[in-house]
Structure 1
Amino acid sequence: MEIHKPKAVHGWRELLTEIGIIVIGVLIALAAEQLVEWGRWHEKIGIGRDAIHKEIATNGTYYAFRVTTAPCIVRRLNQLAAVTEQLALHRRPEPIRFAGLHIGNLIIDNAWQAERAEQTLTHFPRAELDRLSQFYAQQEDIRLWVEREEETWATLRMLEGDPGRLGPADISALRNALQQARNLNFLLALNSKVELDQAQSLGVAIPLPRADDLNGLDVKRACAPLDRTLNPDPMGTP
């Protein structure tokens, strides 16, 4: 086998030319690699954005529900407060079938957490990421308020059945629960409106509750008149 010696470089100009060719080749290879990497992240951003937008739309149905039903909840609380004050005056009020609320869907953040774990969020445009972060940060507060609200309404359900059976300690607990429920309803309605506006700024349309969907049915229940009949099956369906 014939072996050829490397060709000698003649002069600085030829040396610089060969170095330039090598450098350009390396730069082209790096640019191509970066282009492939950019394309990969561009695809992941698109998939992640779609998943997050769907999640925001799902959570948005709850926020629309809270905005829609806020006046109904105020009315229900006023009715329960009137019953409580009747008890304080030793008057025997009519029975109450169901004193609670159907408060809508759960708030989720699975897609947001998944994209954070995949580090996809770090490649989002800064302005978009800031709006998404604000949306999900506020959602954490809302989730805590919802948990507190559920506990508060559990106390108010003491009024179900014959309220006349309740004593002074119960009346005190009911008054405290009523005040907490009013505050929480105000916070949830106000911040739900903020979340809906934030979702709209992200390009996510949130439909208002309809009568034929789950939240639409919950709106009907939340806004229905207080049923003043005894429930024959207190452990069953209200």
Structure 2
Amino acid sequence: MFRLIKLKPPHGWNAVLWELGIVTLGVLIALVAQQLVDSIHQRAEVRELMAALRAEMADNRARWEHIRASDPCTVHRLDALEQWNATAPRGAKINRAYRLFLWNQHSGAWDLAKTSDTTASIPLRERLMFASLYDAINNWRQMINEENANTQALSGLLATADQPENRNQIAYRISLARGYVNRRKFNYDYMFRRWDALGIAPDDSQLTVRANDKLLCEPLDRLS
């Protein structure tokens, strides 16, 4: 025959409930403290990642600002070359006539961000804005390769324009060069609107080359 044993804590049930409450409260405090530490750590990682992205974009914007500032002189030089090609004697040639400087763009911070879980904590609007800018930068790399190739070809043809087969190709290359400039201009509004929306100003402190925006405005007769 079984007998039910009535349990009675030495110090009473109130003491047990008190100790249980203290333990539970301690666990809750520990959990809240851990969540607070995790939250602070996550916010710090987000700030660091955002700072890296914004710094990279500030550098990229400075490069685009330089290219945009040089466009009027680029068009001026193309006008001058077109006039020269139409009027210069058949045996004439001109060296260093189209030395266009186009900056490359960086995306290392974004490549890192895409592999980081921290990126998910960046507000969606800003993530989408950065993604669209970096997509445009990837497109720019292809564009700059094409334009640089045409720049080299045009410069080479002008330097050997005393050869009839080269002189005949100059007008075509000038036409391509104008198209590349117009293509750049078409993209400016897209890029600069997004930089402005993110509050990113140009920062040229990291640029290692000081290119002259007005170089192509110099008269052709100053070239050797």
TM exceeding 0.5:
yes
- Asked if residue 200 in structure 1 is aligned to residue 201 in structure 2, the reply is no
Structure 1: 5+ residue stretches without partners: 231-238
Q: For the residues of structure 2 that align with 1:224 and 1:207, how far apart are their CA atoms?
A: 27
Q: Is the 8 A contact 2:150 2:177 kept in 1?
A: yes
Larger displacement relative to structure 2 (142-151 or 26-35): 26-35
Secondary structure, aligned partner of 1:105: coil
Aligned to 2:37: 36
For 1:101 and 1:7, how far apart are their aligned partners in 2?
Answer: 93
Counterpart code for 1:65: H
TM-score, structure 1 as length reference = 0.73
The 3 A distance-change label for structure 1 pair 172 and 140 is farther
Offset of residue 54 of structure 1: 1.4
After superposition, the Cα gap between the structure-2 partners of 1:6 and 1:70, relative to the gap in structure 1 and judged at 3 Å, is: farther
Task: Tell me whether 1:222 sits opposite 2:216 in the alignment.
Answer: yes
CA contact (8 A) 1:55 1:109 kept: yes
1:184 aligns to 2:180 (yes or no): yes
Matched pairs, number: 214
Distance 1:171 1:94, change over 3 A: closer
State, as a whole percentage, how many aligned pairs show the same letter.
23
Given that 1:45 and 1:123 are in contact with CA atoms closer than 8 Å, whether structure 2 keeps it comes out as yes
Give deviations 1:113-166, integer Å, cap 9, x for gaps.
122223332211111111111111111111111111000111101234352223
Task: Give the Cα–Cα distance (whole angstroms) in 1 for the partners of residues 221 and 24 of structure 2.
Answer: 82
One-letter code of the match for 1:177?
Answer: R
| Alignment partner, residue 236 of structure 1 | none
1:49 alignment partner in structure 2? 50
Matches of 1:190 and 1:6 in 2, distance apart?
85
Root-mean-square deviation (CA, aligned residues, Å) is 3.3
Using the alignment, how far apart are the partners of 1:220 and 1:106 within structure 2?
19
- In structure 1, the residue matched to 2:59 is 58
For 2:185 and 2:86, the matched residues in 1 are separated by 26
Q: Which has the larger radius of gyration?
A: 2
The corresponding residue for 1:82 is: 83
- CA apart distance, 1:221: 1.7
Q: Letter of the aligned partner of 1:117 in structure 2? A: T
Tell me the secondary structure at the aligned position of residue 164 of structure 1: coil
- Which sits farther off after the overlay, 52-61 or 194-203? 194-203
Going from structure 1 to structure 2, the CA distance change for 1:16 and 1:179 (only over 3 Å counts) comes to farther
SS at match of 1:206: coil
Contact 2:60 2:106 (8 Å CA) reproduced = yes
1:162-193 CA-partner distances (Å, limit 9, x unpaired): 522231xx345433322222121112233234
Deviation at 1:109, TM superposition (A): 0.9
- How much does 1:55 deviate? 1.0
| Matched residue type, 2:173 | A
> Match of 1:68?
69
